[in-house]
Structure 1
Amino acid sequence: MKLVRFYTTKGEIEAELYTEDAPATVENFIELVEDGFYDGLVFHQYVHDTFVKTGCPDADGTGGPGYFIKSELNGMRQLHDIGVLSMCNAGLNTSGSQFVICLDRNNVAHLDGNHTCFGKVRNKSLDELYLIRRFDMIKKAELDELDDTVDPDAID
């Protein structure tokens, strides 16, 4: 299982990436993380009980990486729910680097079928997620991989 960790001004947020459900989106995201693209970026938008938004190098929602990627909307995990990472777009096939982290299913359900879900915050990080506000920062983003074939309870 591939993970991303965001070290923010409000704490650490860890999310599983949907490598099988949105492979091209995850590949793009991983390349951006490896290039340090998200390091130092702010959450440029916060909508109460809806989402926090980041990934704009201009800190105002107008910027991106300089290219677009294709939308991936047909996977099994394309449901916007609490903690889901979802690519922003201005229409089909116009995502790049900006994404939201959903805060409430009722307020983001309209994104289903329109925006690519590419990961989900793990439960232990939800407290930190709900602290994020506009202009909080991602100090650093880094990747990790967990061996999900090993049962942690079986280890002595």
Structure 2
Amino acid sequence: MIGRTNTKFLAIILICLITAVFTVGCNKSKYSVKHPKVQIEMEDGGKMILELYPEYAPETVDNFITLAEEGFYDGLTFHRIIKGFMIQGGDPNGDGTGGSGKTIKGEFANNGFTKNKLSHTRGVISMARKSNDPNSATSQFFIMHGDAPYLDGDYAAFGKLIEGYDVLDKIANTPVDPNPSNPTELSVPKEEVRIKTVTVLEK
């Protein structure tokens, strides 16, 4: 009788452990797909599709998806364009000074977040922030037009373009004027480059 009781007890413990492990495994990501996908549609009809990597920057991905679903990015512009480097958008003020009002932790190596191994290569999307505050990112993002490995470890890269490189190139080739806050930088588009909508395709 004692032997049977012990066997039942051990079986119950084993079932509980298996259930716990399964539950923990399932809670690693809140998304039903490994890499959520978003689409940036421009007013001229151009479309860019990106896949996002919560395994590298979970809070950053959550923030971007939330803003997209709220319609925050709809109608905003790419206000800073540097051919061969990157295109930057997501500012409601349209000049690099605005944001969503909510800051997020900078998920990159030099801010103690070592699991973000995503490099700033062509097509990668990353969060803009104040240069003197690693935890100041809100809504502004940039998409790499060229490779910039010197940004690795200092900015939170969180996804990559999988479709629409022709649209990226078109935007990057927009004629630009000097930036009023940094006249040596040619980055202010002569004509508005406006986002129609940002849509979450899969999550």
Task: State the TM bucket, normalised to the shorter chain.
Answer: 0.7 to 0.9
Which residues of structure 2 form unaligned runs of 5+? Answer: 1-34, 109-113, 175-188
Counterpart-to-counterpart distance in 1, 2:92 and 2:70: 13
Q: TM-score, normalised by structure 2?
A: 0.67
Alignment of 1:125 onto 2:167: no
- For 1:140, give the aligned amino acid: T
Counterpart-to-counterpart distance in 2, 1:19 and 1:31: 13
Residue aligning to 2:36: 2
The structure where helix makes up a greater share of residues is: 2
* Deviation (angstroms), 1:77: 3.6
Alignment of 1:114 onto 2:154: yes
Alignment of 1:96 onto 2:138: yes
% identical equivalent positions: 39
Counterpart-to-counterpart distance in 2, 1:67 and 1:145: 24
* Deviation (angstroms), 1:76: 4.6
Higher Rg: 2
Residue aligning to 1:153: none
* Deviation (angstroms), 1:143: 0.4
Q: Point out 4+ residue stretches in structure 1 off by more than 2 angstroms.
A: 74-78
Q: Identify which of 134, 144, 148 aligns with 2:201.
A: 144
Residue aligning to 2:56: 21
* Deviation (angstroms), 1:9: 3.2
Closer, same or farther in 2 for the Cα pair 1:54/1:68, shift >3 Å? same
Counterpart-to-counterpart distance in 1, 2:197 and 2:134: 29
CA RMSD of aligned residues (A): 1.3
Aligned length: 143
Which piece of structure 1 moves more, 129-138 or 86-95?
129-138
* Deviation (angstroms), 1:13: 0.3
Counterpart-to-counterpart distance in 1, 2:83 and 2:47: 20
Counterpart-to-counterpart distance in 2, 1:56 and 1:86: 14
Q: TM-score, normalised by structure 1?
A: 0.87
- For 2:169, give the aligned amino acid: Y
SS for the counterpart of 1:25 is helix
